[in-house]
Structures are given as structure tokens and as C-alpha cells.
């Protein structure tokens, strides 16, 4: 009996062609999304504290003028007394400590500040400011002062809250962590936002998580440049990254110079005379001739006069205006002769030293005065809103669950080696110079790998148990 020929074959089916490897931006987007997710969830609390305290600090300049108006301002008189008489009046009222510096009245309605060091109850790196009426010599009060900008108690308290939460050097780690990650979060958000289709960036007419995402992305895009600036300038005076930046600047010959305080003059060797100031204010030719010599060199108000630290040192007179245009010239003057022994002009600063000075003053709200302070407050407010919206999106993604659904893992496996290897090398170098970026990043990766392995093993056990019950 014949049979019809079979139409089937014993050949094994050909394996399906492997899916093409993703190219271009596609393999990187999930990786950036996961990093943005981790940083947003885990670093955001530190950024929130920095934003709130930064908002308060930006507003403290105007608050200070109101709170200490009596000490800082006087009715305008006819002629100001010689600076030596004003200092004598301050010392008569407050003979304690030693004169660390004198800031003559910079405006017709401003008081003269005589700064005393070594006063009991005042921190070693602060001074005790005695406010003197330049027309009458009357002392109008005395307050603790800190920094070149002349911060008084209210601003000092808020400044320390922003910088270290009143926890000292250990507390500074929080602000450095925030500055180290702010630029990462901002850049990641920019990349993610502009990689979305234009239609998905619309806010109007949307609701739920999409609307929150639209608000989060739109505000983040407009504020990103400000966040990048705050991060970069904040790192310049941080504990660890700041030390690395200073070392790099020094190796490039871009360190901030200072006038030589040696009575015999000298090169700009970097001796910081201000930190060595002390003793009485009157040496040799006296304060009035010293101030006149500085004026002859073009040092206009506001200036600070630092007395000689010892018999071999000179007076140092330096401009202390950090609003635009900056006045940072300084001179050293021999106390015996009243002759200028060294001059340092801000125009002669290295480029990076100038940029650092301008960046710090813009970050602290003094470079452009009230406009600068309002801009900082708006940036801080934007960061607060972005963090709130970010957590809200996390909640909405999980449909109300306690932790929300996580962003899928394994994104790094999709990145081509020619992108992944150089990227890891660059991140390693950056993590070394910015340790509070590198260390948390390693922790994120370890946590992610561990959680991924736990999830993978649970999935295998679930599959095995399901197969056993069939």
C-alpha cells in the first residue's frame, strides 16, 4: 500500500536572528533614567535641606539691614573724625582683646567698624565688631562678625545652618554631598527631558503623573543652568572636593595671590597677613597716614586696615567690595615710614582666581546685590518644587504603594563597550576628585546589584514552585 509523500521534514527549525543591538542614545537613556531615579530618591533630602537653608541665607542680607540698622547706620553729619580718633573711641568703650582690623565708614550714613580679636566668648575665626559714629565718635553698639562680607549674628547663624547644620566640620559633609550631586541630577534631567518626544513634554491639558512630569521637567529645564552654577561654585570651598580644586589651581599657577606683609616688601608670595593680624592698631606713623597712603594708591572705599602682626610686618590695606565691580586691590605699607612696600591689583590675578572670586560672590548673593539675592531665592524655590514633584511622581508611578515601582534594572548591560568602558574610566577619575560623588555612586551600584540578585532568585524560586505544582 502506497503512502503519499510526507510534507514535513526532520530538519530542526532555524534559530531566530538576534535582535540588533540598540544604537545611539537608546541604550544610554535607561541608564541615565536609573541614575536620576536613585539620585532623586536618595540624595534629594540633602538637596532639600540645602535649598531651604539657601533660601533663608539669600534673604538674610536684607533682614540684617533691618535688624541691625541702629549699629550699621548713622545720621549724615558734616565732617568725619580722623580714623585714629574713631578707633580710640572704640577702644575706650571696649578695651578687651586686640585690634584685628578697621573698616572705615564706606558711605556717608554708614558706621566705622573696629574689629577686635581675642575677645572672650567670640569664636577664634570670628571678630568682635565695634560700631562707631564717624562724625561724633559715639559707639552705637558691638556685635560678632564673620567673613569678608561682614556677616553679623543673624546672617552668621543662617550661614552656618546652610553650610554645616551647626554640626561643625562633620556637618559640612551634607552640603558637599548636595553640591556633588546637584549637577548630576540637573544634567540627567535635561538629557531625559529632551530625549522625550515633543508631544510628551506638554503640560497643558494633562493630568495625573504626566502633568506632574511636565511641571517637573519644564521648571527643571529653565533652572538647570543655575543648578549647574551653584553646584560648581559650591564645590570650590567644600572640604574634600574643594581641597582637590585648590591643589589643581595651585599646580596650574592659578592660586589666589595676596600682598606681602613683610615691612621690607617682597613678591606676592601668598602670605596671608589678615590671618596673622593682631596687636594694637597704632604703629609708627599711625592709622591716618596709613589710610592716606592707601588712598594715594587708588584704594577707594570700602577698605579694611590690618595692623602689623609684629615688628617685622607692615600694615595691609585692602579693598573689600565684593559687589560688581569688584574692588580687591591691596597694598602693604611700612609702619615706620608710611611708604608703600607692595601692591597687588585684582586686575593682575590669574584667570581662575578671578573666576573663583566672582563665582563665590555670585553664589553667596553679594556680586549683584538685591537682584542676585532674589535670583538665588527663586533658584532655591525651584529646587524645592522639583524635589516635591519628583517624590510625587515616584508615588504616582506605584499607584499609591509605599515605595512605587522601581525603574527597570540591567540598563548598563545594553550600553556598547566602546561607550561603557570610557564612561567608567571618566566616572572613576571624577569620583576620585569629587569623593562625595564617587562613594555614594559605588553604594548605589552595590545596592542595585544586591537587590537585582535578590529579585532574580525570588523569581527563579517562584518559577520552580509553580512548575512543581503543575
pLDDT 10s digits, 162-174: 999 999 999 999 9
Report if residue 462 sits inside a domain: no
Cell matching residue 135: 562724625
- Write down the pLDDT at residue 421: 84
Domain count, the chain: 3
Last residue of a domain, one of 127, 151, 175: 151
Report if residue 18 sits inside a domain: no
List the 340-344 sheet strands across, edge first. Answer: 139-145, 127-132, 112-117, 98-103, 303-306, 315-319, 330-333, 340-344
Are 261 and 270 within 8 A, CB to CB? Answer: no
Q: What is the pTM of this model?
A: 0.86
Contacts of 95 (CB under 8 A, 6+ apart): none
Question: Do 224 and 261 fall within a single domain?
Answer: no
Report if residue 242 sits inside a domain: yes
Question: Do 221 and 187 fall within a single domain?
Answer: yes
The Cα angle at residue 177 between residues 173 and 180, in degrees rounded to 5: 135
Residue 361 pLDDT exceeds 70: yes
Q: Would you tell me the crossing angle of helices 435-469 and 172-195 to the nearest 10 degrees?
A: 60
- Write down the pLDDT at residue 72: 98
pLDDT category at 413 given cuts 50, 70, 90 is low
Strands 303-306 and 139-145: unpaired
Are 434 and 180 within 8 A, CB to CB? Answer: yes
| pLDDT above 70 as % of the chain | 83
Are 286 and 277 within 8 A, CB to CB? Answer: no
The mean per-residue pLDDT over the stretch 449-470 comes to 67
Report if residue 380 sits inside a domain: yes
Least confident of 140-154, 386-400, 420-434: 386-400
Report if residue 224 sits inside a domain: yes
* Residue in the structure block whose three cell numbers are 545720621: 75
- Write down the pLDDT at residue 277: 39
Question: Do 179 and 312 fall within a single domain?
Answer: no
Q: Which tens digits make up the pLDDT trace of 86-144?
A: 999 999 999 999 999 999 999 999 999 999 999 999 999 999 999 999 999 999 999 99
Largest CA-CA distance found in the chain, in angstroms, rounded: 134
Where in the sequence is the domain holding 323, given as residue range(s)?
257-348
Question: Do 262 and 344 fall within a single domain?
Answer: yes
How far is residue 420 CA from its own chain's centroid? 30
Report if residue 353 sits inside a domain: no
Least confident of 276-280, 343-347, 451-455: 276-280
Per-residue 3-state assignment (H helix, E strand, C coil) for the chain: CCCCCCCCCCCCCCCCCCCCCCCCCCCCHHHHHHHHHHHHHHCHHHHHHHHHHHHHHHHHHHHHHHHCHHHHECCCCCCCCCHHHHHHHHHHHCCCCEEEEEECCCCCCECEEEEEECCCCCCCCCEEEEEECCCCCCEEEEEEEECCCCECHHHHHHHHHHHHCCCHHHHHHHHHHHHHHHHHHHHHHHHHHHHCCHHHHCCCCCCHHHHHHHHHHHHHHHHHHHHHHHHHHHHHCCCHHHHHHHHHHHHCCCCCCCCCCECCCCCCCCCCCHHHCCCCCCCCCCHHHHHHHHHHCCCCCCEEEECCCCCCECEEEEECECCCCCECCEEEECCCCCCEEEEECHHHCCHHHHHHHHHHHHHCCCCCHHHHHHHHHHHHHHHHHHHHHHHHHHHHHCCCCCCCCCCCCCHHHHCCHHHHHHHHHHHHHHHHHCHHHHHHHHHHHHHHHHHHHHHHHHHHHHHHHHHHHC
Cell matching residue 129: 565688631
Question: Do 309 and 377 fall within a single domain?
Answer: no
Q: Compute the distance between CA of residue 141 and CA of residue 133 in angstroms, rounded to an integer.
A: 10
Cell matching residue 32: 541615565
CATH of the domain at 107: 3.10.450.40
Cell matching residue 360: 563665590
Report if residue 358 sits inside a domain: no
Residue 383 pLDDT exceeds 50: yes
Question: Do 273 and 240 fall within a single domain?
Answer: no
pLDDT category at 407 given cuts 50, 70, 90 is low
The mean per-residue pLDDT over the stretch 40-69 comes to 96
Last residue of a domain, one of 151, 186, 211: 151
Last residue of a domain, one of 151, 176, 210: 151
Residue 17 pLDDT exceeds 80: no
pLDDT category at 397 given cuts 50, 70, 90 is confident
CA within 13 Å, CB half, 9: 4
Question: Do 88 and 233 fall within a single domain?
Answer: no
Q: Of 220, 223, 204, 213, which is closest to residue 391 (Cα–Cα)? A: 213
Rounded to a whole number of angstroms, the distance between the first and last alpha carbons of the chain is 43
Question: Do 276 and 325 fall within a single domain?
Answer: yes
Q: Compute the distance between CA of residue 112 and CA of residue 289 in angstroms, rounded to an integer.
A: 17
Question: Do 95 and 225 fall within a single domain?
Answer: no
Are 316 and 261 within 8 A, CB to CB? Answer: yes
Cell matching residue 158: 543662617
Question: Do 388 and 317 fall within a single domain?
Answer: no
Question: Do 233 and 375 fall within a single domain?
Answer: yes
Question: Do 141 and 187 fall within a single domain?
Answer: no
Report if residue 213 sits inside a domain: yes
Amino acid at each position: 500500500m502506497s503512502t503519499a509523500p510526507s510534507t514535513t521534514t526532520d530538519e530542526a527549525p532555524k534559530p531566530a536572528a538576534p535582535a540588533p543591538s540598540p544604537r545611539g542614545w537608546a541604550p544610554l537613556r535607561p541608564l541615565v533614567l536609573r541614575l536620576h531615579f536613585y539620585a532623586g530618591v536618595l540624595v534629594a533630602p540633602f538637596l532639600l535641606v540645602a535649598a531651604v537653608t539657601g533660601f533663608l541665607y539669600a534673604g538674610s542680607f536684607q533682614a540684617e539691614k533691618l535688624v541691625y540698622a541702629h549699629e550699621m547706620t548713622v545720621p549724615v553729619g558734616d565732617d568725619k573724625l580722623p580714623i585714629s580718633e574713631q578707633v580710640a573711641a572704640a577702644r575706650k568703650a571696649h578695651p578687651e582683646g586686640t585690634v584685628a582690623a578697621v573698616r572705615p565708614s564706606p558711605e556717608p550714613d554708614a558706621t566705622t567698624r573696629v574689629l577686635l580679636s581675642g575677645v572672650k566668648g567670640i569664636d577664634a575665626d570670628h571678630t568682635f565688631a565695634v560700631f562707631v559714629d564717624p562724625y561724633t565718635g559715639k559707639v552705637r553698639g558691638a556685635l560678632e562678625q564673620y567673613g569678608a562680607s561682614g556677616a553679623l549674628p543673624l546672617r552668621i547663624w543662617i550661614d552656618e545652618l546652610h553650610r554645616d547644620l551647626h554640626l561643625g566640620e562633620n556637618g559640612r559633609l551634607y552640603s558637599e554631598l548636595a553640591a556633588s550631586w546637584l549637577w548630576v541630577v540637573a544634567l540627567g534631567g535635561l538629557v531625559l527631558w529632551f530625549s522625550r518626544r515633543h508631544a510628551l513634554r506638554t503640560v497643558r491639558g494633562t493630568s495625573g503623573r504626566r502633568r506632574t512630569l511636565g511641571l517637573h521637567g519644564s521648571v527643571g529645564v529653565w533652572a538647570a543652568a543655575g543648578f549647574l552654577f551653584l553646584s560648581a561654585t559650591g564645590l570650590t570651598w567644600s572640604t574634600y572636593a574643594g581641597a582637590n580644586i585648590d591643589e589643581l589651581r595651585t599646580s596650574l599657577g592659578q592660586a589666589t595671590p595676596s600682598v606681602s606683609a613683610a615691612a621690607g616688601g617682597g613678591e606676592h608670595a601668598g602670605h596671608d597677613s589678615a590671618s596673622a593680624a593682631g596687636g594694637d592698631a597704632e604703629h609708627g606713623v599711625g592709622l591716618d597716614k596709613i589710610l592716606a597712603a592707601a588712598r594715594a594708591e587708588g584704594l577707594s572705599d570700602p577698605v579694611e586696615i590690618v595692623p602689623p602682626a609684629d615688628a617685622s610686618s607692615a600694615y595691609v590695606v585692602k579693598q573689600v567690595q565684593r559687589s560688581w565691580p569688584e574692588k580687591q586691590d591691596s597694598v602693604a605699607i611700612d609702619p615706620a615710614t608710611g611708604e608703600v612696600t607692595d601692591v597687588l591689583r585684582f586686575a593682575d590675578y590669574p584667570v581662575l582666581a578671578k573666576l573663583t572670586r566672582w563665582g563665590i560672590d555670585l553664589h553667596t548673593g553679594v556680586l549683584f546685590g538685591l537682584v542676585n539675592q532674589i535670583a538665588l531665592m527663586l533658584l532655591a524655590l525651584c529646587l524645592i518644587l522639583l524635589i516635591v514633584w519628583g517624590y510625587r511622581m515616584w508615588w504616582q508611578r506605584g499607584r499609591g504603594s509605599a515605595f512605587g515601582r522601581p525603574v527597570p534594572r540591567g540598563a548598563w548591560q545594553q550600553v556598547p563597550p566602546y561607550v561603557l568602558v570610557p564612561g567608567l574610566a571618566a566616572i572613576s577619575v571624577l569620583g576620585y576628585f569629587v569623593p562625595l560623588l564617587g562613594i555614594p555612586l559605588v553604594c548605589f551600584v552595590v545596592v542595585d546589584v544586591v537587590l537585582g540578585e535578590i529579585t532574580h532568585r525570588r523569581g527563579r524560586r517562584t518559577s520552580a514552585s509553580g512548575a512543581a505544582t503543575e
